[in-house]
Chains A and B, each alone.
Chain A
Amino acid sequence: MSDDSKLWSKTISDVNSEILVNIENPHPAYYVALAFAITTLLIGIGFVALHFTYGLGLWNFRPPVYWAVDITNFVFWVGIGHAGTLISAILFLFRAKWRNTVNRSAEAMTIFAVICALVFPLIHMGRPWHGAIWAVPLPNTNNLWVNFRSPLFWDVMAISTYFTTSLLFWYMGLVPDLASIRDRVTGFKRLVYGIMSFGWRGTSKQWWHYEAGYGFLAALATPLVLSVHSVVSWDFAMSLQPGWHTTIFPPYFVAGAILSGCAMVYNLLLPVRYMFKLEKFILPEHLESLLRLTLLTSTIVFYAYSLEFFVAWYSGNPYEWALFEKRAVGPYSFYFWVMMFCNCIFPLALWSRRVRNNIPVSFVICVLVNVGMWFERYNIILSSLVEDFVPARWGHFQPGLWEVMITLGSFGLFTTFYLVFVKFFPVVSLSEIKLIMPKPLSSKASGGAHHHG
């Protein structure tokens, strides 16, 4: 605590006033970004509407490629969604203090990324109007339940559980902060925030149960974080497709998800930090910690990529090895090399403290990691499908207009949600940042730094 306290130029008395004031008056760039995001979202919605009207045939699916950009986007967004709960839950359990400044935006990112992710399984279905109901275990007139043995059903369960839990976790964290906002505003807004904060009063008993509940939630969410992407990886690993049917998939996917999530948190935090003038709260040290986590997961992913090749070769399975050979040098090897460079090679620069402290360079690396992670999924899905077992079925694939537009639309959806969120909710957890800031003590330990805001 004593070491950390030297970092801070602010006291807890500055937290509410400065952070909330900033939220009320964002940088003009915020509105530009919002307009751009909403436009993209609307375009995406338009294309989805056409897609629902005319059918899946509009996409450029070319059998044997029955999944391509749709599921790539799904896995990508689920992966992005991992960082939030990871930072909230696991790092909470590990008592990593730097998480307290980034966890709110990471959790929000999780929620919105999972929403984006949920969109894709829904629209990728041939008959979503049936699928949205039949894939959920509900009583029905058919007396027929879902296939509890299907990885896709696991996926429904995993993602919906993850979404619910993350939402609870996120909202639970928000409750005291909403109460803080409630206590700053008047009139109708006060009513709204009051309802949203459940009438939080901040008594010590509430804090006591809150703290316990938060901890248990974190304890529940920790295996969940690890399981969700494992389950997503089983969407692939439970088939017999070469390149998919491997036991390495769950840890490999989880590591990849955290990698992309951390990179995305970094990418989101920087503009927000700038637009809402949070430099004094989200300290460079916190950002650096995020980059360390990125670096760690990047090396895990690197290891997994390498091991996949080794196992494919070592197993002696001709189908498996043929696939990996093609991944590296075949017609779709471009995606593979994008993935390798973006996820494994470029993040190596983060070993250097200078790079980690160089915010623009780190930002670019994180963008590249996200690009790389998108192409990782694309590569996994496409290369396994496009040329698998029976040569007569081999095909080609290239994304078409619908793929591109709906992907952009999902980014629009995500960005819109995120920007709306940062405008109306505290982007930094007020109560939690207060915890890691110098405590308001009357003794000498608090120094003379604090004053009333």
Chain B
Amino acid sequence: MRSAISRSLLPLLTVMFAIMAVGTSRPAYAWWMYTPGDTVDNVGYKPEQPIPFSHKLHAGKNNIPCQYCHSAARRSSSAGIPPLNTCMGCHRLVATDKPNIKKVTEHYNNNDPIQWIKVHDLPDHVHFPHKIHVKDKADGGAGIECQQCHGKVQEMDVVEQVAPLQMGWCIGCHKERKAKLECVACHY
């Protein structure tokens, strides 16, 4: 029966590897990206904003540092959308004739905040403190560039989500940098 056994090994191995290689690759990828009940990967989310603010123009062409406007990022959990007075700091004088700037001025004068659409939106059970990530290593922070999570915003006319912002993605970086991996690091 030795021959029978050796003959049986071929189909056996075929079955095993076929299942593992062919059968699992595509579904595994699908599963990875769209685990039901899991956070949905929102890469490519690119909503239209009430004012077509161009990061490409401000951060790219004019080379304004991110934290010039998003100054809360190094002080607070929230990176913060700059208040209108930050806009008006320049636009009282700069490009005041542009229709959008007029709109901004109007908002400012009416004390009416602009309702921006959130692009990068973590689930509410995740606590992501910007300050500890953003601050320089010398100051006790992680010294992470904004672009690492938000992409090359300085090249975007319309801000778009580039990172999946899923837990596995966060964990990958935390493992790499030997940052805290405890659940309470983000969930409490």
Contact = CB atoms under 8 A, between A and B. Distances in A.
Given A139-B28, A141-B164, A133 B35 contact: yes
B86 interface: no
A143 B172 contact: yes
Contacts of B31: 138-140
B167 A144 contact: yes
A143 B164 CA distance: 13
Contacts of B171: 142-144
Interface stretch (B36-44, B53-61, B137-145, B146-154): B36-44
Interface in A42-81: none
B25 to A, nearest CB: 11
Interface in B18-51: 28, 31-33, 35-39, 41
Interface residues of B, number: 17
B78 to A, nearest CB: 24
A141 B35 contact: yes
Nearest to B29: A139
Nearest to B35: A140
A303 interface: no
Among B37, B38, B41, B171, find the residue whose CB has the most chain A CB atoms closer than 10 A: B37
B8 to A, nearest CB: 10
Contacts of A134: 37
B52 interface: no
Contacts of B96: none
A424 interface: no
Interface of A: 129-130, 133-134, 138-144
30 contacts: A129-B36, A130-B37, A133-B37, A134-B37, A138-B31, A139-B28, A139-B31, A139-B32, A140-B32, A140-B35, A140-B38, A140-B168, A141-B35, A141-B38, A141-B39, A141-B164, A141-B166, A141-B167, A141-B168, A142-B35, A142-B38, A142-B167, A142-B168, A142-B171, A143-B167, A143-B168, A143-B171, A143-B172, A144-B167, A144-B168
Given A141-B166, A143-B167, A143-B168, 18 more contacts: A129-B36, A129-B37, A133-B37, A133-B38, A138-B31, A139-B28, A139-B32, A140-B31, A141-B33, A141-B35, A141-B39, A141-B41, A141-B164, A141-B167, A141-B169, A142-B35, A143-B172, A144-B171
